[in-house]
Amino acid sequence: MSSTAASDAPSVPRRLWDYLDNHRREAPARTALVHAGGRMSYAELCREAETLALGLIDIGARAGDTISYQMPNWAETVLIALAAMRIGAICNPIVSIYRNREVSFLLTDARSRFVFMPETYRGFRFADMIAPIARGVGAQMIVCRGDHPDALSFDALLARGQDLLAQGGATAFAETDPTKDALYLYTSGTEGQPKGVRHSQATLLSEAWSVLLATDIGPQDSLFMGSPLTHITGFAYACIAGPVRGLKVCLLDIWDIHEAAQLIAREQCAWTVGATPFLQGLLEDPAMAENIRSLRIFRCGGADVPPSLIRKAQARGIRAMRTYGCSEHPTISGGVGDDPAKAATTDGKVHPQNRVRIADLDDESHILGPGQIGEIQSRGDEVFLGYVDSRLDAAAFTADGWLRTGDLGHLDAENYVTVVGRRKDIIIRKGENISAKEVEDLVSELPQVRQCAVIGVPDGERGEMMVAVCVLESGASLSLGQVATHLTEAGIARQKYPERLEILDAMPTNAAGKIRKVDLRAMFSPPDER
């Protein structure tokens, strides 16, 4: 296993390109990126990204401009992010599932000047959708792997940059300010309108070192990345942490569990981060065991993680752990040095450079002690700068500068944090506050249950009725009575038993794999409450 000393971390904020310049000077032939079309060394990655940056400058891009992109996990996506960082512009990734309404909101809110997209991806014509939106906000379109009458092609932009690079244009890059905005990352919107989260290079580099040190990763280790590069996880790991440490980053653009396992085997990937369904998929097929033999570390987050899943991975020799964070504070806890037992039952030990406290729900000036449940509040160098809409900042931070995560949880005496639900994910049944996550974890232990989400829907008698929504294993069946029997054996209060069970073939999820409970509530609420 690699060893990473704390002294490796920079003592002052630095720029992403300081690291890239070091890698292409000291290890130019080292593989930086593996993608569906081939691979790039660090020398090639830096040259291509600078070529794209010069092309952008040639069409008017400047420091502080917002560069949006709705792109798959392609090599071009990484180049766009690195080029934007090179000129001090602001990256604005847009998840690929968004359509007219969401894209229009994001391009307007982010004040986008340039927007990249594929002409067509997986049968959908992204360029046709974005063209009228881009015209409306005055953004220049750049189409990847195709063309459009309203757009400049990615290849043409690279050709412009190549001409400038040949003329020595790379010497003209201005020094960027690492404390300025570098990323507008919009929240997934599981509870409402997306909010633009602002990060700087300084906060992103702090996040990168937080993860690298806690995961004990060195330059020789390969990262598998199947999460979207347009989500905080994919962006922070593939576009920031990978280049910072000089890793080989392996991209999968169209999700397929078998292709994922083959890529892990072929490139000997040592670690990854992903949502619960990915880890479930890797572990459920015994035939994959040989393919994933190189995988020794799995950081699991972004969706509820049953303790049994972590234990199963650990039994297979994978150092799996629950990890906790959010777009506003990307990685708060979880590391390879954590107690393996607690890695399954908690969301990990708080990283040394972070601080967490638990605030009373009725009086946030009252900070709770070990084991007491309240709102999780956090501080650290990787905490975001604020929202694009600054009017939202006051609700995000306490008067003394702590981030209100909106998550409910508790700390133990050893500084392990456990998330028990969202503040808005509390079901109020007959005046009793019930944590949905506690019930979800228990129901998920049933062998026939693949996924479980517990929601509250309006009910005249109870205030809210508790509904357990489950996706079952192939060929399995489940009754409400079986759920009740299991919960009785688990020894929880009867008030926490669901009154209703619904079975789905698949859960509605966002790009990060999180279950969209807002959709489930709409699906199962009484017609007059939808």
By residue count, the chain amounts to 530
pLDDT given for residue 491 in this prediction: 84
Q: What is the CATH number of domain 256-422?
A: 3.40.50.12780
**Lowest mean pLDDT: which of 190-194, 426-430, 463-467?**
190-194
Whole-angstrom distance, CA of residue 12 vs CA of residue 229: 27
pLDDT, residue 5, reads: 38
pTM of the complete model beyond 0.95: no
Per-residue pLDDT, averaged over 409-426, amounts to 88
- Give the pLDDT score at 499: 96
Residue 276 neighbours by CB under 8 Å, 6+ apart: 300, 302, 303, 304, 305, 306, 309, 451, 513
pLDDT of amino acid 237? 96
Distance, in Å, from the CA atom of 274 to the CA atom of 260, rounded to the nearest integer, reads 12
260: number of Cβ within 10 Å: 23
Average pLDDT over residues 326-345: 95
Q: What is the DSSP letter of 256?
A: -
pLDDT band at residue 529, thresholds of 50, 70 and 90? Answer: low
Written out in words, the top-level CATH class of the domain with range 40-201 is alpha beta
Give the dihedral sign, CA 425/429/432/436: negative
The reported pLDDT for the residue numbered 7 is: 41
Backbone φ, ψ for residue 115 (5° rounding): -145, 125
Q: Is 187 helix (H, G, I), strand (E, B) or coil?
A: coil
Helices H / strands E in the chain, number of each: 17, 24
Higher pLDDT, 328 or 303: 328
**Helix residue spans in 59-153 (DSSP H):** 75-87, 100-109, 126-137
pLDDT tens for residues 2-15? 334 334 544 444 89
User: Please, which pLDDT band fits residue 193 given cuts at 50, 70 and 90?
Assistant: low
Where in the chain are the domains? 40-201, 256-422, 435-529
Distance CA 121, CA 382 (A): 33
| Distance, CA of 489 to chain centre | 35
Categorize the per-residue pLDDT at 192 as very low, low, confident or very high, splitting at 50, 70 and 90: low
pLDDT, position 323: 92
Q: What are the distances in angstroms from CA 49 to CA 75, 157, 249, 425?
A: 10, 12, 16, 42
Tell me how many degrees the CA angle 169-172-174 measures, rounded to the nearest 5: 145
- Whether 184 has a pLDDT exceeding 90, the answer reads yes
What mean pLDDT value characterizes the chain? 91
Q: How far apart (Å, rounded) are the C-alpha atoms in residues 42 and 40? A: 7
- Whether 40-201 shares its CATH topology with 435-529 is answered no
CATH architecture of 435-529: 2-Layer Sandwich (3.30)
User: Who contacts 274 (Cβ-Cβ below 8 Å, separation ≥6)?
Assistant: 226, 227, 233, 298, 299, 300, 302, 513
Tens of pLDDT, residues 371-403: 999 999 999 999 999 999 999 999 999 999 999
Q: How far apart are the C-alpha atoms of 260 and 19, rounded to whole Å?
A: 28
The Cα–Cα gap between 330 and 457 comes to: 31
Q: Read off the pLDDT of each residue in 105-116 and give the average, rounded to a whole number.
A: 97
